[in-house]
Amino acid sequence: MVWRVSRQLDGALAGRVLTRSDFRVPRFATTNLAGRTVHEATARGKHLLIRVEGGVTVHTHLRMDGSWRIWPASRYPPRDHRVRLVLANESWQAVGFLLGVVEVLPTTREGRVIGHLGPDLLGPDWNAAEAVHRLRAAPERPIGDALLDQANLAGIGNLYKAEVLFLRGLSPWRPVGVVDDLEAVVELARRLLEANKEHAGQVTTGNPARGQETWVYGRAGRACRRCATPVLADGYAGRGTPSQERVTFWCPSCQPAMGS
Ligand SMILES: [Zn+2]
């Protein structure tokens, strides 16, 4: 089924220059691929990969209700609210309806999303129970590490990891198996992402003023907003030199390593 769709897309798009791209998902609303040649469309499992000139891949997934239609380019661009993506060239327009996933990524990173992506926090098919199930599969793993693993659930970056764990009073190093309410953790992450998805900045405190946006993220050495204990920062032990994106921030008082 998906393979067949990929063949149709490949037939309509491959080897042709895009004259228009229309991403009707918030995250990629400003992405414009016009002027680039489509190399190929292919399927990997249930994932559709449209590889475009410049090392870019348009990754989509049909999930439950998605479908693609290929129309002549002369047809008026669809106004249907179910349309998530339109890729058009001089001859054809490929119109994706109700796609469960639409994202643009470097072609070299396809491996990260194919076949092992967990439920997407901002996806139409978000499934908290499935995310919790995946997290629980490795009970000894530190919760901070587990939340960043996109194979468990997709969408939490380092900022949201730090902020969610602070708000739940959880040390980043607490093993997943002794986190009482994982569902509350992932639902909080979803609410924070939802609240910020339309904005350029990321605010978890409710205060968008500069320097007030976060509870602990980026605040190493500063006083915790709740208890005034200095916020700590560290990389993950055993991972070699901590890189900036791997640094975690936490309040040792509000987020004790053992049970609260
Ligand atoms: Zn504190």
Q: How far is the centre of ligand 1, averaged over its atoms, from the C-alpha of 223 (Å)?
A: 8
Q: How far is the centre of ligand 1, averaged over its atoms, from the C-alpha of 169 (Å)?
A: 9
- Segment 162-166 shows an average pLDDT of 97
Concatenated DSSP letters for 190-230? HHHHHHHTTSSS--SSS--STT-S-SSTT-TTSBPTTT-PB
Query: In one letter, which amino acid is 188?
Result: L
pLDDT bracket for residue 150 (50, 70, 90): confident
Dist. CA 213–CA 220, nearest whole Å: 14
**Phi then psi for 217, rounded to 5 degrees?**
-60, 130
Of residues 89, 144, 153, 105, the one with CA closest to residue 126: 153
- Segment 69-94 shows an average pLDDT of 93
pLDDT at 238 over 60: no
pLDDT at 228 over 90: yes
pLDDT at 172 over 80: yes
Q: How far is the centre of ligand 1, averaged over its atoms, from the C-alpha of 217 (Å)?
A: 13
- Segment 144-169 shows an average pLDDT of 90
Task: Tell if the pTM clears 0.75, that is, is over it.
Answer: no
- Segment 194-211 shows an average pLDDT of 86
pLDDT at 259: 52
pLDDT at 239 over 70: no
In terms of Cβ atoms closer than 10 Å to its own Cβ (0-12, 13-18, 19+), residue 37 is middle
**Phi then psi for 147, rounded to 5 degrees?**
-70, -25
Question: Residue 60's beta-bridge partner residues?
Answer: 48, 102
For residues 61-100, one letter each, b for 16 or more C-beta atoms within 10 angstroms of the residue's C-beta and e for the rest, the string is bbeeebebeebeeeeeebeeeebbbbbbbeebbbbbbbbb
Q: How far is the centre of ligand 1, averaged over its atoms, from the C-alpha of 219 (Å)?
A: 12
pLDDT bracket for residue 237 (50, 70, 90): very low
Q: How far is the centre of ligand 1, averaged over its atoms, from the C-alpha of 224 (Å)?
A: 5
pLDDT at 244: 47
- Which pLDDT tens digit goes with each residue over 23-57? 999 999 999 999 999 999 987 657 899 999 999 99
Q: How far is the centre of ligand 1, averaged over its atoms, from the C-alpha of 94 (Å)?
A: 52
- Helices in 69-181 by DSSP H: which ranges? 110-113, 128-136, 143-148, 158-168
Q: How far is the centre of ligand 1, averaged over its atoms, from the C-alpha of 112 (Å)?
A: 35
- Which pLDDT tens digit goes with each residue over 94-122? 999 999 999 999 988 887 777 577 888 87
- Segment 114-133 shows an average pLDDT of 82
Q: How far is the centre of ligand 1, averaged over its atoms, from the C-alpha of 254 (Å)?
A: 4
Q: Decide which of 240 and 143 is more confident.
A: 143
Q: In whole numbers, what is the pLDDT of the chain averaged over residues? A: 88
- Segment 71-94 shows an average pLDDT of 93
Q: How far is the centre of ligand 1, averaged over its atoms, from the C-alpha of 140 (Å)?
A: 25
Of residues 40, 36, 100, 89, the one with CA closest to residue 67: 100
pLDDT bracket for residue 236 (50, 70, 90): very low
